[in-house]
Amino acid sequence: MSRLVLVRREQVLRGGQPLAFGIGLMVALVVGVFLLLGSGHDPLRIYERMFEASMGSPKAWSVTLNRAVPLGLAGLAVAVAGSMGLWNIGAEGQIMAGAMGAAWVARVGGDWPALMLIAAMLGAAIVGGALLALGPAVARAHIGVNEIITTLMLNEVAIRLLQWLIHGWWKDPESQNFPLASMLADNAKLPTLFERAHVGVVLAALMIAIFGVAASRTAWGYELRVAGSAGATARYAGISLERKILTVLVLSGGVAGFAGGIELSGNSDRITENLSNGFGFAGIIVAALALMRPSGVAAVAVLFGAVQIGGQSIQTLGVSSSVSTVLQALILFGAIAAGVLSRYKVELDVADAQPLRPTRRESDTTP
Amino acid sequence: MRNELTSTDTLGQPFAVELQGIWKRFPGVVANAGADLRVSAGTVHAVLGENGAGKSTLMNILAGVYRPDAGQLRIDGEIHHFRTPADALAAGIGMVHQEFRLIPSFTVADNVVLGAAERIVRRSSIESAVGELAERFGIATEPDRMVWQLSMGERQRVEILKALWRDAQILVLDEPTAVLTPGEADELAAVLRHMANDGRAVIFISHKLQEVTSFCDEATVLRGGKTVAASLSVESTDATELAGLMVGSSPAISERPPPGQVGEELLAVHKLRCMDDRGLPALDGIELTVRSGEIVGIAGVAGNGQRELAQVIAGLRSVESGTVCLTGEDRTFASPRQRFSAGLGYIPEDRLGVGLAPRLNVIDNAILRTYRDHCRGPFLDAESATAHCQDLVDRFRIQTGPLFHSIAGLSGGNLQRLLVGRELRGHPSVVVAAQPTRGLDVQGVKAIQDLLVAERDVGAAVLLISEDLDELLTLSDRLLVMHAGRIVAEFEPTTAERRTIGEAMAGHLDGACVIPEVVGP
């Protein structure tokens, strides 16, 4: 009798993660077939529609890319912290904080020239997100408070703060007493790139590229790797662990805030409670699938954007948009399970084929 | 389910453990090449061998961590195929690994019963049950203490209790004394004897002959993955013979290198005080100097401040009072990096996790101290870093795979060469080496010792902290003994008597006044 066993690889397989992601996608699509059949739909038609709506035309691509922007930036935010072994679960709130910063600048500088206003809005967005992350960063760096809990709880603070602003100070006088913020002026909106895509796509790609280069090519990135590998080694090498934790978490918040600014300026008419739309949490999945590497984040974000947009499009066929959420989750599970393959390889169990090792069953029958 | 292949011990009982013809290959290495081991119940059995002889692999096979490529495994005469450590545990095998697997924020009792408590129970009843178990085997422990508060020796006892709680009939300890002070090692020996008398089989992995001869009943010697001597009676076997079996030829008697040219004072520590991790005084007014061209050895029972002394000099532990001078300048408050630039090479006791970053590749580890020299603006120059690393690898003859692979694949000896090479490459003025040869095989020990002597000969001041008295007596030009955070005695290594040194280590010469006259240069 021989069996398949997992054998640890000497070195992690290069290109194992894209492979795992592909397998995850396949698993998700196959399981999805059964889900769709079970709810009385034609899976092929649904998948075709999803593909067309997300990648079937330049217009579809523009919508997908717009969606990939907040996903990618939130993923980058999580990945920046994750590369040092820190978990920023607060990207959702930091996106809100960033959007609030940008919205405040838009209110103050409503008559500024577009370029200046947008630059100021995005700058304020970064500061907003960074400010929300500052508390957890200081607490973690200096007194060792678990950043998972503090960043998570501040999500609630950010959303309540926004509600308070929308219900009060920022309420649009023309909203007939609905709790809505004022509309953004046209000069506060990001210019279009192509079709529906806004220039935020380029800005996000740039941001991810900068972090990618910083992480892999600079002394700063090297220090981050050392600190993430072993804190005591970092101190030995003369790297201040406290300062690294502080900068990394604040930067992470800033990146998430930047996502909020772009989402507001590029994709919305006004700031609303739904602006962050779960991007901060989806970012955790994106970063995890990208193994905390900026280069992977971009690719995963585009694919997730496509799945989300495709999922929305099939609502017109009577399918719940939850299908796309289920698919995202299935991709995650499939990819994580398949990720084992980059660290292990499947082999025939040679040991069982050896005459000296009869199987338990055979030896049981020996008198 | 007896099988005719089963052999029995002298009393006609099947062996508690019988490993036969075990083969295990890893990519690029054959760890076990037909290793055999037979252990009777009620004995303490040593598995001896140098680093890389295949001891750990064989024990991991017994504990279900690895699965053999070939060979068979019997417990009490029954063939077993362990797929997981849980299978091995169910068959009564408990393993105490070198790295403890405890949860620091749990109490001793919680750690002992973790995963093996039958239902929700009252804390006090767990604690008293664990306390009773400990008492039965003569293990000193406090079940309600948090594990993070415990010393390494105390943690090891928790690991042993974990195995006993699960009623392990076969207990495997992987180099258990490496983390213990001599006193703790004796206590461990008593506990092991207690367990053997209780009818259990104890397997004790070591490469220290002295422990084997004093703790164990039988010894099996492995070399190159094969069993070269099985179940020798320790009583009737000479230690020299065992050593010969381990290394394949009689071990070279280490010779004292000729003394170096002693020069100016390069390291001076004055009235140094500091705290340990628990906030208790660790150094209590240390005075010492090391001059160019000499090796000053620090002997002492582990836990008397040697670790803290090295850390304070390296800048990794803060000073309460006193000064540290390097090459004549006060560097008491300098950062580790400044000290390195000022000419301090530091070989820390913990190689992985302090001296080396375990998940990073060879290049990243090679430039750990000097990465700022490989920068162009904010960018790290990969070419220059690789060249530096390659130079280190060539010069110190480090056996590695591709340099961009993680150092996880390097053997202990090569890891230490990488670390020592990195620290010594720029010929530092002062070298602080803490346990630089611990856990290395004979060749590895020799290589590291030669490097330290070579540095001394080119004028470095070397402070050597070691638990190996032979090493200290061979290498040191002066030998200091630490006890309770103080230097309590100084000896001339060529004339010092071991017994007197031992008394000083035990604190019987306490009080600075009994420091014997310095035998000057």
The phi and psi torsions of B338 (rounded to 5 degrees) equal -60, -40
CA–CA min distance A210, chain B (Å): 12
**Res B209 pLDDT > 80:** no
Q: Quote the pLDDT of residue A367.
A: 32
What is the strand order of the sheet B265-275 is part of? B281-291, B265-275, B321-326, B329-330
How far away is chain B from the Cα of A294, in angstroms, using its nearest Cα?
Answer: 17
What length does chain B have?
521
Is there a single domain that holds both residue B191 and residue B117? yes
Q: Could you tell me which chain B residue has the CA closest to the CA of A232?
A: B354
Q: What is the pLDDT of residue B114?
A: 85
Q: Which residue range forms the structural domain that includes residue B220?
A: 17-247
**Together in a domain, B241 and B285:** no
* Residue B100 pLDDT class (50, 70, 90 cuts): confident
Q: Which helix (H) or strand (E) holds B211?
A: helix B209-215
User: What confidence score (pLDDT) does residue A95 get?
Assistant: 97
3 state DSSP class of A276: coil
Pairing of strands B17-26, B78-80: unpaired
pLDDT digits (tens, 9 = 90+) for B410-458: 877 888 999 999 999 999 999 999 989 876 777 788 889 999 999 999 9
d(CA A248, CA A140): 11
| Residues B243 and B281 placed together within one structural domain of the fold | no
- Do B67 and B190 lie in a common domain? yes
Backbone angles phi, psi at B289, to 5 degrees: -135, 145
Pair of tokens at residue B267: 């390291």
Same domain assignment for residues B118 and B227: yes
What's residue B517's pLDDT? 43
Find chain A residues with C-beta within 8 A of B372's C-beta.
219
Domain of B279, CATH number, reads: 3.40.50.300
Q: Which of B215, B247, B279 is the last residue in one of the domains?
A: B247
Residue-by-residue DSSP string for A114-152: HHHHHHHHHHHHHHHHHHHHHHHHHHHHHH---HHHHHH
- Number of domains forming the structure of chain B: 2
Q: What tokens were used for B310?
A: 């090295």
Q: How far is CA B237 from the centre of its chain?
A: 26
Q: Do B364 and A226 touch (CB under 8 A)?
A: yes
Residues of chain A with CATH 1.10.3470: 64-312
Short-list A107, A68, A73, CA closest to A92: A73
Confidence at residue A2, expressed as pLDDT on a 0 to 100 scale: 59
Q: Which two tokens stand for residue A141?
A: 């760096």
Higher per-residue pLDDT: B280 or B425 = B425
Residue B379: which of A217, A225, A349 has the nearest Cβ? A217
Residue A221, token pair as written in the block: 């990135």
Q: What's phi and psi for B14, nearest 5 deg?
A: -65, 150
Residues B228 and B109 placed together within one structural domain of the fold: yes
Helix (H, G, I), strand (E, B) or coil at B393: helix
Closest-CA distance of chain B to residue A356, Å: 6
pLDDT, greater one: B415 or B13: B415
pLDDT at position B38 is: 93
B308 is a domain residue: yes
Instruction: Name the pLDDT band for B254 (thresholds 50, 70, 90).
Output: low
Higher pLDDT, B62 or B3: B62
Chain B residues touching A357 at Cβ < 8 A: 68, 70-72, 79, 81
Q: What is the dihedral of CA A298, A304, A307, A311, to 10 degrees?
A: -130
Contact B363, B404 (CB under 8 A): yes
- The answer to whether the CB atoms of B368 and A225 lie below 8 A apart is no
pLDDT band at B516 (very low <50, low <70, confident <90, very high): very low
Beta-carbon contacts of residue A351 (< 8 Å; ≥ 6 apart): A357, B67, B68, B69, B70
Q: Is B166 part of any domain?
A: yes
Q: Residue B335: its chain A contacts at CB < 8 A?
A: 238
Residues of chain A predicted below pLDDT 70 = 1-3, 10-12, 348-367
Q: Do B379 and A233 touch (CB under 8 A)?
A: no
B72·A229 Cβ contact <8 A = no
Q: Which residues in chain A are contacts of B346 at CB distance < 8 A?
A: 236
Q: Among residues A133, A108, A98, which one has the least CA distance to residue A271?
A: A98
Considering only CB atoms, A232 lies closest to which of B353, B369, B378, namely B353
- Comparing CB atoms, the residue among B346, B360, B378 nearest residue A226 is B360
Give the per-residue pLDDT at A358: 36
Three-state DSSP state, B311: helix
In this structure, are residues B444 and B437 in contact, taking their beta carbons and an 8 Å threshold? yes
Whether B44 and B143 map to the same domain: the answer is yes
- CA–CA dist A93, A129 (Å, integer): 8
Q: Name the minimum distance, in Å, from the CA of A71 to any CA of chain B.
A: 28
Q: Which two tokens stand for residue B507?
A: 């604190």
pLDDT, position B247 = 60
Q: From A14, which residue of chain B is nearest by alpha-carbon distance?
A: B405
CB distance B26–A354 less than 8 Å?
Answer: no
How do beta strands B295-299 and B461-465 pair?
Answer: parallel
- Identify the helix (H) or strand (E) that includes residue A216: helix A200-217
Give the separation between CA A308 and CA A326, rounded to whole angstroms: 10
**ipTM score for this prediction:** 0.78
Torsion-angle region of B388 (φ positive above 0: left; ψ -120 to 50: alpha; else: beta): alpha
Q: Which residues contact A51 (CB under 8 A, 6 or more apart)?
A: A310
Which of B478 and B117 is assigned the larger pLDDT? Answer: B478
* Cβ within 8 Å of residue B201, ≥6 positions away: B16, B17, B39, B40, B41, B42, B43, B45, B169, B170, B171
Share of chain B above pLDDT 70, in %: 89
User: Considering only CB atoms, which residues of chain A are within 8 Å of chain B?
Assistant: 5, 9-11, 214, 217-223, 225-226, 229-230, 232-238, 349-351, 354, 356-360, 363-364, 366
* Contact: B68, A351; criterion CB under 8 Å: yes
Quickly name the fold that domain A64-312 has.
ABC transporter involved in vitamin B12 uptake, BtuC (1.10.3470)
Q: Which of A11, A214, A235 sits opposite B336 (nearest CB)?
A: A235
For A218, nearest residue in chain B (alpha carbons): B379
Instruction: Out of B354, B369, B409, name the one closest to residue A232 (CB).
Output: B354
Between A362 and B143, residue with greater pLDDT: B143
CA distance A219 to chain B (A): 5
CB contact under 8 A, B336 and A237: yes
Distance CA B388, CA B371 (A): 10
Is B316's CB within 8 Å of A236's CB? yes
At residue B180, does pLDDT exceed 90? no
Q: Say yes or no: B336 and B455 in one domain.
A: yes
Query: A363, B335: Cβ pair inside 8 Å?
Result: no
Which residue is listed with tokens 């006004």? A270
Whether residues B3 and A366 touch (CB distance < 8 A) is answered with yes
| Average pLDDT score over residue span B70-75 | 91
Q: What is the DSSP letter of B45?
A: E
What is the CB-side half-sphere exposure of residue B383 using CA atoms within 13 A? Answer: 1
Under 8 Å CB pairs connecting chains A and B tally to 110
Q: Which of A10, A219, A351 faces B69 most closely, judged by CB atoms? A: A351
Q: Are residues B163 and B271 in the same domain?
A: no
Minimum-distance CB partner of B358 among A10, A229, A354 = A229
Confidence at residue B392, expressed as pLDDT on a 0 to 100 scale: 92
Whether residue B446 sits in one domain with residue B300 = yes
- Chain A positions touching B405 (Cβ under 8 A) are 11
B122 and B205, same domain (yes or no): yes
Examine the domain organization and report whether B269 and B241 are in the same domain. no
pLDDT in tens, B395-408: 988 888 888 888 88
| Strand-pair partners of B44 | B202
- The pLDDT assigned to B7 comes to 65
Tens-digit pLDDT profile for residues B31-55 = 888 899 999 999 999 998 766 678 8
In order of A294, B77, B191, the CA distances from B41 in angstroms are: 56, 12, 16
From B194, B218, B247, the end of a domain falls on: B247
Select from B247, B274, B303 the last residue of a domain. Answer: B247
